[in-house]
Amino acid sequence: MAADPPLTLFDVPGAAEQPAERPVASRLFDVRRVYAEPAAAASPRGRQVLGRFPDAEVVEVASHWQLPELHGNEGNVDRWVRVKAETLVLGVKKSLSARPNGRSADFIAPSTANGCAMACAYCYVPRRKGYANPVTVFTNIDQITGYLRRHVARQGAKPQPDQVDPAAWVYDIGENGDCSVDALVSDNVADLIGTFRDLPTAKASFATKYVNRQLLDLDPAGRTRIRFSVMPDRDARLLDVRTSRVGERIAAVDEFVAAGYEVHLNLSPVVLREGWEEDWTALLQQLDDVLSPAAKAQAAAEVILLTHNAGLHEVNLGWHPRAEDVLWRPDLQEAKRSQNGQDNVRYRAGVKRAGVARLRELVAAHAPWLRIRYAF
């Protein structure tokens, strides 16, 4: 029996009634194929995504997690970046929960997307997706934002200040991707920012390596915290593939503060290699020179030393082996069981302790205004 032909946009119920979407013009995306669960494709948010990529082939799938062409296909290692650029997935988020965190945020919000069009060599997300890591958009955004409103209401007022925030419950909305990139694909991020704008006891938070100035128009009213990840440019050019350059991220901080965002910095990941102290000194001096007094007054930082993974090491050897020269250091690393159950490697305890202490010294010397919320 012949296989069913792939869906087109015109096969999706209600597509013709949707307002016209502007095709996405970004170097990150050249989407040729969208794998879509039928319910996701038929939803308003799904139709919006399809409208932004009108030339893409739409392939119906039973589950966004069961895509033999993507997941578990070792041949995709050779196409690691092309898959990210050329493929999207639409699904419905089945299980909604907010997990306690306590580091970057009080809670990890239910994902509205996972995967990424960028290709940072140390990213933990593809470890769970198997040889491919394109963006998956969850289209049941109204269910997700409704769940978050109810969860925030159940918490009441935050009883006391902590290192996460002095007054608000903070929800990380971007654990499994980069919200600045996700905002190119759909309005999920805009809807999340709008949701938290109206929640006086809570804030959204996400880390990003991409400067998306469309976010400047969303009026967050101080209820969304963006954490720009920064590292020395020498590391970023090797490891932060397809991201905004570090200098562009730093230059954008004042714009986002002026637009009503709380802007923090992730000093992450700190990669211990020859010359790392000199390069971090230069970066901290750059931050001190570039950022305005207003940005410095509200800034805080997370310091995160590199964590890596044997499976990702093997994937990287297939598409970006040079990165592993600095990421895979058995002479310095030991096994680590992560909070999410992953078997990872990290710098040995003494090495890591010394690295954290030295970076704290550099921050105190060159950016004393930068409060470190936590370091690990």
My answer on whether omega of the bond before 269 falls inside 30° of 0, hence cis, is yes
- Domain-embedded: residue 75: yes
On the question of pLDDT at 149 being above 60, the answer is yes
On the question of pLDDT at 190 being above 90, the answer is yes
- Domain-embedded: residue 103: yes
- Domain-embedded: residue 81: yes
Please report, for the domain that includes residue 188, its CATH number: 3.80.30.30
On the question of pLDDT at 148 being above 90, the answer is yes
Question: Can you give the pTM of this predicted structure?
Answer: 0.92
- Domain-embedded: residue 30: yes
- Domain-embedded: residue 317: yes
- Domain-embedded: residue 1: no
- Domain-embedded: residue 2: no
Q: What is the mean pLDDT of residues 290-314?
A: 95
| Secondary structure (DSSP) of 174-228 | -TTS-HHHHHHH-SHHHHHHHHHHT-TTEEEEEEESS--GGGGGS--TT-EEEEE
Average per-residue pLDDT in the chain? 92
User: Among 86, 85, 83, which Cα is nearest to 70's?
Assistant: 83
Burial status of residue 133 (CB atoms within 10 A of its CB: 0-12, 13-18, 19 or more): buried
CA–CA distance, 290 with 272 (Å, rounded to integer): 25
Domain residue limits at 204? 9-375
Instruction: Give the total number of structural domains in the chain.
Output: 1
- Domain-embedded: residue 3: no
Q: What is the mean pLDDT of residues 32-44?
A: 97
pLDDT, one tens digit per residue, over 236-259 is: 999 999 999 999 999 999 999 999
Q: In Å, what is the CA distance from 269 to each residue of 55, 265, 327, 347?
A: 37, 12, 10, 12
- Residue 237 backbone phi and psi in degrees, to 5: -65, -25
